[in-house]
A = this chain, B = another copy of it.
Amino acid sequence: MKNSLKSIIESLIFVSIEPLTPEKIKNIMTEYSDNDIETALQKIVDSYASQDSGIVVFQSAGGYLFATKPELDPWVKKLLNLDKRSRLSPAALETLSIIAYHQPITLAEISAIRSVDAAHALKTLLLKRLVKITGRKKSPGKPLIYRTSTKFLTYFGLNSLQDLPTTEEIEKILEEEQDAE
């Protein structure tokens, strides 16, 4: 079966990060008239709107985009929150790696290594219980000291902190790649 213009455009909208404009479609589908393309786009919008579907195609910034139906937001949010629990932001990951390898460590020390304030990332890690407070440092200001938790070990499938890959091991892995380049 020949692929319909409608199905082709649908796949293009799907893989576009930005709203897909009719102009872009016309550049790719040169053998179709502007009218054909506009009709197909309208058909796509209508068909998703009329179906009992969780997703819609809507117009935005002069282009077309897939999105979930607005009324399904509560469930989408629930999923994203659930996912969030098992995921880390790049900032949180960086902070966690510093704590893992440099524990016990204070917030000021983490921020110094990152060259960026780590307070927000640290809060995320504490909320996820990947990091815990284990006391105060006997130094001016008596700052809190942080360590990784047991949950941290389970999360990464480690038996103990000794099982963390050493910097030498990672260096070996990453450096040979540079040789090859």
Question: Which residues of A pack against B, CB within 8 Å?
Answer: 3-4, 6-16, 20, 24, 27-29, 52-55, 66, 68-69, 71-72, 75-76, 78-80, 82-83, 119-120, 122-124, 126-127, 133-136, 142, 144, 157-159, 163, 165, 169, 172-174, 176-177, 180
**A75 touching B11 in the complex, CB below 8 Å, given contacts A24-B82, A120-B180, A165-B133:** yes
The answer to whether B177 touches A7, judged by C-beta atoms less than 8 angstroms apart, is no
- A8-B75, A16-B83, A136-B163 known; 8 new pairs, CB 8 Å cut-off, are A11-B54, A12-B54, A24-B82, A119-B176, A123-B177, A133-B165, A135-B163, A142-B163
> In the complex, which residue of chain B has the Cβ closest to the Cβ of A48?
B53
Give 30 CB contacts A-B under 8 Å: A3-B71, A4-B52, A6-B52, A7-B72, A9-B54, A10-B54, A11-B54, A11-B55, A11-B68, A11-B75, A12-B79, A14-B68, A15-B79, A15-B80, A16-B83, A20-B79, A24-B79, A28-B75, A28-B78, A28-B79, A119-B173, A120-B176, A120-B177, A122-B173, A123-B176, A124-B177, A127-B177, A133-B165, A134-B157, A136-B163
Closest to A124 in B: B177
